Chain A
Amino acid sequence: MADFETPEVKEYLDMPELQPGAMSHSKPFVSRDEFQGPLGFPGELVDDWQHVALAKLAELLNKNRGLQVFMDACVKCGACTDKCHYFLGTSDPRNMPVARQDLLRNVYRRYFTWPGRLFPKLVGAQDLTEDVLDQWYSYFHQCSECRRCSVYCPYGIDTAEITMATREIMNAVGKGQKYSNEIIGKVFKIGNNLGLPQPALKDTLEGLEEEVKEDTGVDVRYPLDEKGADVLLVTPSADFFAEPHVDGLIGYGKVFHQAGISWTLSSHASEAANFGLFIGSPENMRKIALRVREAAEELGVKRIVFGECGHAWRVAYSFLNTLAGPFDFLDPRYPVPQHICEVTHELIQRGALTLDKSANDHRRVTFHDSCNVARASRMGNTPGGQFTIPREIIQAVCNHYYDMPADTIGEATFCCGGGGGLLTDDLMELRVKGALPRMQALRQVVEEEGVTHLAAICAICKSQFAKVLPYYGFEMDQIVSVHQLVSDAIVLDPAKQTT
């Protein structure tokens, strides 16, 4: 299958022996001129790249308090060293969060602090050489920006912020990552990551309507660009046809149908994902976010709801109001934006959905908390709602639900191994190895509780698991969308038609 070994899943997660350089060969394809240009980045490594990089670092230190504090505050206590799934899966010490941060921090110390200028060896400061740039490119593309380390750091140092800053510096000198940058270009040009134009979307959605009609005999609508709908649904474009994502989209439609809520998708904002976050480029992130506002204004909706996507929910929940707000033209009775799980949960709470739990009796389900939902956002009105709401939905539609071990879920959840702009085939080894801690936890509930399915609310998690589950001896269809479970349990009422 590949030229690397899949790690062995043991009964317990072992603390790996350090293997320096074990993953130094792992690098994603470098971006090219055609993908760099539309994002405002140079097409290839610029001549005076050291100066440009240091000027960019200086600029970021002036503009981002988090980065400045994180550069100064680390005491090398070691609390984070065993927290990263990529370290646990690869044994490469540079994948320990603090060691990853130090790749940038050592350069910061060399050029921006007195001890680093005067006694570089003493404080571990480093010149910005080609070799360092190479290591940046390798190891800052071995961080999925999942923030697990930031939970445990006594100063809240968030490696994700440092990864984003370094990726932004690398883009500024013309050494971008092809995967993320090409995708952002597609959003600017066509409207979504997959490059699906409006006619293709329309076709797909009509196909879904026929499919649901065939399955259920009920006319459930999957509308596109319908002016005057109450809800604009923004969902990751993978939901339009990838498996198991599309079963989730079918579920959203059924929920809206049963609740009698009129809704629409938009071809202009046909993408919830926002890879501007991954590359640490707030300007590009804002341009993508503004498409959601534009679509909402254009279609005259009253509410904005986001589909199942982890980092998209972070950008939506935490940043949308800042980047594209204020949203005072929407119905003030609803938070902006809402998560589809918040909508479904509320409908379940007030008994607006008829659910037949036995429809999922052939499944024994566990839930994977996606990192950006868990540690960078919230659902509902109380902290931790992002953990309880999806679980309460699953438990309302399934009779058999089991949590994975407590130190692998909730705020301690392990990344799927494919987040943060790493969901590309050129990083397959990293993705497989990074999935180890989650696979270990999954194995435990499979063996102890007979769990058959892993439910998730993130397009990246779903794609990643579909790909890596077979490496660990599971089946690729053991990963399901939460709204696929809802979809299977919901009892449709033909009379409820929305227009």
Chain B
Amino acid sequence: MTFASIVYAVLFYGATAILLIGVGLRIARYARTPAPLKIPTTPAPTSRGGVIGRMASEVVFFYSLFKANKWIWILAWVFHLALLLVLLRHLRYFIDPVWEWVVLIQPFGVYAGFAMLAGLIGLWIRRIFVERIRYISAPSDHLMLGLLIAIAASGLAMKYLWHVDVTAVKVFFVGLMRFEIHSLPAEPLLLLHLALVAALMIVFPFSKLLHAPGVFFSPTRNQADNPREQRHTSWAARVEHTGAAAPANRGAPVPNARSED
């Protein structure tokens, strides 16, 4: 077993822990924080089922972004869809025997790698050359694109230019999942690819990547438009928190303090 194997084992245990715990804590915080008032962006669905449909249209098709800007939409949507396929394709490094459907998507996953790269480069071009978007970009916004592009490029390079022993890689990762450390091929490109992926996992809970869990908690999208029919009562939670209760002379006591959405 090499030194690199141990370093990368520690790195991936650490990165996984930070990703899961960090995002878990963030989700817990979003879920715990009350939404004091009904603020869906209208027209909005009036029922729970309708809200699920609206949320699906956002998460699956980026519907609001589609309405906003077709260029950003196509680039972002291609990138995310491709990323999903690429991630699913990578399941084969963690599962033994590999599930049938993961085998089926392998060829698509490879093309998705190129699509992902194309989407990311397109987004970066916009970020650099569209004056408005350049204005709102911090260095970290450029770095994030650079990181994702480097991950995609190093992955594709291993597939097409400098092959690595993927069987050994699989042995390493399946081993990690069983708390055994096997030897990781010491290919520079592989080590780079894996280090970048670990970096992405580590920054996830502290960065704008929180948009992924965040969208599900966005009150303008996840609330039903039914304030007249159903009294929204998380308001009380807000008042309780401060202790600065509004004048107590009015209104009936509020039943459930922590509410639905």
Bound CA span A114–B140, Å:
13
- Enumerate chain A residues within 8 angstroms of B219, measured Cβ to Cβ: 65-66, 69, 156
Note all chain A residues with C-beta closer than 8 A to B256: none
Closest to B126 in A: A78
Q: Is A220 located at the chain interface by the 8 A CB criterion? A: no
With A64-B36, A73-B210, A375-B42 as known contacts, state yes or no: A96 contacts B136, CB within 8 Å. Answer: yes
Q: Is the CB of B68 within 8 A of A122?
A: no
Contact between B65 and A154, CB atoms less than 8 A apart: yes
Known A-B contacts A63-B242, A66-B219, A152-B64; the reply to A18 vs B131 at CB < 8 A is: yes
Check B208 against A76 for contact (C-beta < 8 Å).
Answer: yes
**A-chain residues with CB within 8 Å of residue B252 when the two chains form the complex:** 326
Most buried by B among A77, A79, A96, A323: A77
- Chain A residue, CB-CB nearest to B203: A115
Whole-angstrom CA separation of A335 from B219 in the bound complex = 23
> Which residues of A from 12 to 33 have beta carbons under 8 Å from B?
17-18
Across the interface, name the chain A residue whose C-beta is closest to B59.
A154
Of A255-263, A283-291, A443-451, which stretch is located at the interface? A283-291
Interface flags for A370-410 (1: CB within 8 Å of B; 0: not) read 00001111100011101100000000000000000000000
- Chain A residue numbers with a CB within 8 Å of B132 are 18, 78, 81-82, 93, 96
From the candidates B131, B143, B231, name the one contacting A322 in the complex (CB within 8 A).
B231
What chain B residues lie within 8 Å of A68 (beta carbons)?
A: 29-30, 33
Instruction: State whether the Cβ of B49 lies closer than 8 Å to any Cβ in chain A.
Output: no
**Contact mask B33-58 → A, CB, 8 Å, 1/0?**
11111110111111000000000001
Does chain B have a CB within 8 A of A121? yes
Residue B235 is within 8 A (CB to CB) of chain A in the complex: yes
CA of A159 to CA of B29, assembled, Å: 21
B238, A64: Cβ atoms closer than 8 Å: yes
A122, B138: Cβ atoms under 8 Å?
yes
Verify A294–B250 contact, CB threshold 8 A.
yes
Q: Does B26 contact A (CB under 8 A)?
A: yes
Q: With an 8 A cutoff between CB atoms, is B165 at the interface?
A: no
Assembled-state Cα–Cα distance A147/B44 (Å): 14
Chain A CB within 8 A of B188 CB? no
Q: Which of B69, B139, B252 has the most CB of A within 10 A?
A: B69
Q: What per-residue 1/0 map shows which CB atoms of A140-154 lie under 8 Å from chain B?
A: 000000010011111
B7 on the interface (CB 8 Å rule)?
no
What are the residues of chain A within 8 A of B227 when measuring CB–CB? 317-319, 321-322
Give per-residue flags for B243-256: 1 if the beta carbon is below 8 A from chain A beta carbons, else 0.
01011001110000
Chain A residue contacts of B217, Cβ below 8 A: 65, 69
Q: Contacts A64-B35, A73-B210, A319-B227 known; A96 to B65 CB distance under 8 Å?
A: no
- B141 CB, min distance to chain A CBs, angstroms: 5
- B208 nearest in chain A by CB position: A75
**B244–A283 contact, CB under 8 A?**
yes
B37 touches A322 (CB 8 A): yes
Q: Is the CB of A65 within 8 A of B37?
A: no
The residues in A between 250 and 278 inclusive whose CB is less than 8 angstroms from any CB of B are: none
A325 touches B242 (CB 8 A): no
B133 on the A face (CB < 8 A) = yes
Give min CB distance, A386 to chain B, whole Å. Answer: 7
- For the complex, give the distance between the alpha carbons of A377 and B37 in Å: 13
| B55 and chain A: residue at smallest CB distance | A156
Task: Check B131 against A17 for contact (C-beta < 8 Å).
Answer: yes
Which residue of the partner chain, among B67, B141, B221, contacts A152 with CB atoms under 8 Å? B67
Q: Verify A77–B76 contact, CB threshold 8 A.
A: yes
Of A82, A96, A155, which one neighbours B218 at CB under 8 angstroms?
A: A155
Nearest B residue to A324 via CB reads B251
**Can you list 20 A-B pairs, Cβ within 8 angstroms, ordered by A?**
A18-B132, A63-B34, A65-B34, A66-B218, A72-B214, A74-B211, A75-B141, A76-B133, A78-B133, A96-B132, A122-B143, A123-B138, A154-B68, A158-B220, A290-B246, A290-B251, A321-B227, A324-B250, A325-B231, A382-B46
What is the interface of chain A, defined by CB distance below 8 A to chain B?
17-18, 59, 61-66, 68-70, 72-83, 93, 96, 98-99, 102, 113-115, 121-124, 147, 150-158, 161, 282-283, 286-287, 290, 293-294, 317-319, 321-326, 335-337, 374-378, 382-384, 386-387, 411
Residues of chain B at the chain A interface (Cβ within 8 Å): 26, 29-30, 33-39, 41-46, 58, 62, 64-65, 67-69, 72, 76, 126-127, 130-133, 135-141, 143, 203, 206-208, 210-211, 214-215, 217-221, 225, 227-229, 231-233, 235, 237-238, 241-242, 244, 246-247, 250-252
